[in-house]
A and B are shown apart, each in its own frame.
Chain A
Amino acid sequence: EAGVVQSPRYKIIEKKQPVAFWCNPISGHNTLYWYLQNLGQGPELLIRYENEEAVDDSQLPKDRFSAERLKGVDSTLKIQPAELGDSAVYLCASSLAGGAGELFFGEGSRLTVL
């Protein structure tokens, strides 16, 4: 069974440019998460989807970040415009039907903003 797939693995952009990350969760996992991981820190939740509905986006900086999960399967996280402080690893995870169960993570997308 394929795991959570993310792309790109690495992205380097100039500040003020847009960037997008894509995630395909494990088949059958209704819940999808985007996490932010700064260097030397643990993942922090940005947004959680149940199917196509964003049910927790309280930590998503909505002035520059947006996300979508059309058709309740794969998802895209966008930053526009990017700032120097956005340099981090963006992790996607999925799980079965929400709740306090196991999260399955992708390998992450490492963003460097110059």
Chain B
Amino acid sequence: GNSVTQMEGPVTLSEEAFLTINCTYTATGYPSLFWYVQYPGEGLQLLLKATKADDKGSNKGFEATYRKETTSFHLEKGSVQVSDSAVYFCALSITGGFKTIFGAGTRLFVKA
């Protein structure tokens, strides 16, 4: 079946630290991969996406590369800010399908 596994949180970093949140997936077919972010008190919103192998999605200083050989889509940011504190969800959707499957989420705390 299709599934997403992401690193457990919480992740606590100091401002300007480097961030990596690991995400691996299992999928039949050719998935599109997503990172969604949920800021406190808000709904989930798309952060970035990649639709085929070797694509790199990027937004707001975050980036993730679709690695088919390792079935991974790790989220990275070179220098986090306090405002990046949120819950991050890795997700996949099979191309042509209609169901997005989410990981359990990783909570990030950034300290000033």
Contacts and interface: CB of A to CB of B under 8 A. Distances in A.
A45 B92 CA distance: 13
A65 B14 CA distance: 44
Contact of A91 (B43, B94, B96): B43
B64 to A, nearest CB: 15
Secondary structure class of chain A's binding surface, majority of residues? loop
Nearest to A38: B104
Contacts, number: 59
Contacts of A3: 43
Interface stretch (A12-20, A68-76, A104-112): A104-112
Nearest to B45: A105
A45 to B, nearest CB: 6
Contacts of B17: none
Question: Taking each of B44, B93, B96, which has the highest tally of chain A beta carbons within 10 Å of its own beta carbon?
Answer: B44
B105 A42 contact: yes
Given A56-B99, A99-B96, A42 B46 contact: no
Nearest to A44: B102
Interface of A: 3-4, 31, 40-45, 48, 55-56, 91, 93, 98-108
